[in-house]
Structure 1
Amino acid sequence: MSPDATDAAPAAPLTVRPLDTSTWPAFAALVEANNGVWGGCWCMGFHVKVGKGRSAEQNRAEKQERVREGRTHAALVFRGAECVGWCQFGPPEELPEIKSRRKYEQGLAEPPDWRITCFFTGKGLRKSGVAHAALGGALAEIARLGGGTVEGYPEETDDRTVSGSFLHTGPMAVFESHGFTRTRPVSPHRWVVTRTVRPA
């Protein structure tokens, strides 16, 4: 008799590893399985402007070069050997291309030490804890790298349904569950949120 669903092996627990040359193949496999992510961005959109004139191939090559040179940071979420999502972070000079820049700069008193800029979760895995694990991993890595003030720019979704493509900067609930507080709005539904991370 075939085993039923209750006999199936439990899913492997989520683990987090930094993006580096050893994890690049798993990261690249997830991006390639998702059309380069948002039409070929390859998670370059906060490093440089990725509009017209830039191909997915160029974004891929530049992302890989940044990985080799240690000029890009991400917390990759794994289920077993498979990368299932990530959270990108880095200092402002590494990730200068933030959204709603004019409104953001109007209220900026002092730049943060770190930015949490974007999230991605593989198909069929939303609401399975990937974003929570990714943000926790990013904060742990920031602590290891010396800590400091951290900003995020999540979308507030409490009173509306939002497509996953609009949540690339992360949902508010995930940030608040990790101790971030709302600082100021930068668009009708997006906020600057902040917290301080102590060095590990």
Structure 2
Amino acid sequence: MRSILSSVGAVAVCLVAGSAFANSTGINGRSGKQSVSCTASGCHGGGSSAPTVTLEGPTALTAGQTGQYSLIISGGPGAKAGMNVAADGATLTAGSGTKLMSGELTHTLPKTFTDGSARFDFSLVAPATNGTYKVYAAGNSVNGDSAATGDSHANATLDVVVTGGSDPAPIKEDEGGCSAATSGAPAVLIAVFAALAARRRRKA
């Protein structure tokens, strides 16, 4: 029985270590767009200080225009860095050291800090519809020991206003759930008031 428990314990340790190691080649769904953080997902936590994560790039684009952006991670454990970027409605294109994963960007390998920071460059193609689109980013600052402990992360967002394209389709009244109740309301109210007035005249 003791040998079985020892084997189970060894497998569990390997799974945890394997999970942390697997994420070294990138992971998606942790940008903050889905309200799931790196810590909440069971990886990269316990660091004594959080990094600063900054998104740099144009905050206004014309429809179809390509903008150049950077995710900069500074502070924290500060040995190596990883990232995850997602966007509402816009097309992301990977830069050096990043790759696309299910429409989001993540690192191909952890990037070594240089002069206290790590930088990931990427581009974004503005959609054809006017509006304000949000870019979501998560940045990890890790100690480089291939374990999930002693690491820290932070999030950032950036709003990009797109103009020069088509306007969003207007919301139809029936999509608001009110038209069915209100479209015949004036006629119904008139009939009700007329009936009440007639009743009062009869009583008089």
Alignment TM-score > 0.5, same fold: no
Question: Which TM-score tier does this pair reach, normalised by the shorter chain?
Answer: under 0.3
Q: Which has the larger radius of gyration?
A: 2
TM-score of the superposition, structure 2-length normalised? 0.25
Q: Which has the higher strand share?
A: 2
By relative contact order (CA 8 Å, sep 6+), the higher-ranking structure is: 2
TM-score of the superposition, structure 1-length normalised? 0.25
